[in-house]
Structure 1
Amino acid sequence: MIEEFYCTSKEAVPVGLSTMRYRQLVEILLDYLWPRRYVVVFEDVWSDHLWKDIKCSLPDERRGGHVLLTTRREDIASSSFEVKSHVYHLKPLGYSDALDLFCMKAFPNHPNTSCSQGLESLAYDLVAKCEGLPLAIVTLGCVMSSKKSEWEWRQACDGLNWMLSNNAQLERVTSILLLSFNDLSYRLKCCFLYCSLFPEDY
């Protein structure tokens, strides 16, 4: 956080951050933020311990400091964090917007990125399976962009239907991501699996 703040304001980052103790780092942040208004974004938070660890370093003296936290976990989003908070629930895309996004990815070279003739019904079916989830729509659109014939599209659609009906425990996005993995060449699958050996954020 210290590095991000200093770099954003084009100031020299304090030397020796990696060797400082937690208390020293907190003091640097407090000194830096005290006279300022700021916005801090923590993306994809998976633990409510994060706030307990960092709240003492984010002063709030009514100068306009704000913290934005994104998470996929309802329990974390609804935690009070002992501060005034507002939870904004993202809604899935409407069908029309979802179809536009899908076509933009699936038919990037087609005029107006519209659906190719003959593939409309399959495209509508695939978009409906994504239930308005942007990650699922983009992933599926990118997978389908490499398929040229109606037969290839039907194969992918049937494969997705099978995965969704036979894996009740899998989330919809997971099934679509699995389809995109299965669609890779064997060489790329091996490369992808090799990368998965590393721990998260390694």
Structure 2
Amino acid sequence: MGLISNFTTDNPLELIPNMKHLLLTLLILVSVKTISFGQELAIIQDTVKNYQIGVPVGWKYGVPADQSLALMAFRQKHSEEDVPRENFNINILHHDETSLDATYSEFLKSIGTVEGFTVIEQGDTVINDRKYKYLIETHKNKYSKEDMHNYVLFANRDGVLLILTMVTTSPNFESYRALFDKIALSLHF
């Protein structure tokens, strides 16, 4: 009968030891969920380029002076030994093509020229009622020579392209994927 048989009794005081185990199990489950999704996001809204996204609290963000990107956000150091590589950026481009599939295909061809570029996952997703193409790719950083993972979301809204690129080193990708998913789910375009 398992757990259910352990909770059937005429004496409510007999439930206390069983409830302690149940509460401890629930506490552990909540803690695990908080570790993976616990990073709070500050919502940034750009009313000129018409998007909204969550930036992890404690990360620095802004628009580069040359405005080559719509937004850049990067993780800050946790200690002197820490070398943060985690960041994301949003690029907004204007294009005559309005088909998501066609512009995504062109996008794949253009980024596929990066040395060592390998797509390891790709597909379609819907976030806040908008269809996106996504891919996860790996390549070597041309400056540090580290293996990197890029998690990219791509959308086309009537010829306005939004490209969200979330970046970390390859060994850190699995640790940051849940946060990158949370950032992606906060995106409104």
The TM-score normalised by the length of structure 1 is 0.23
- From the two aligned structures, give the one with the greater helix fraction: 1
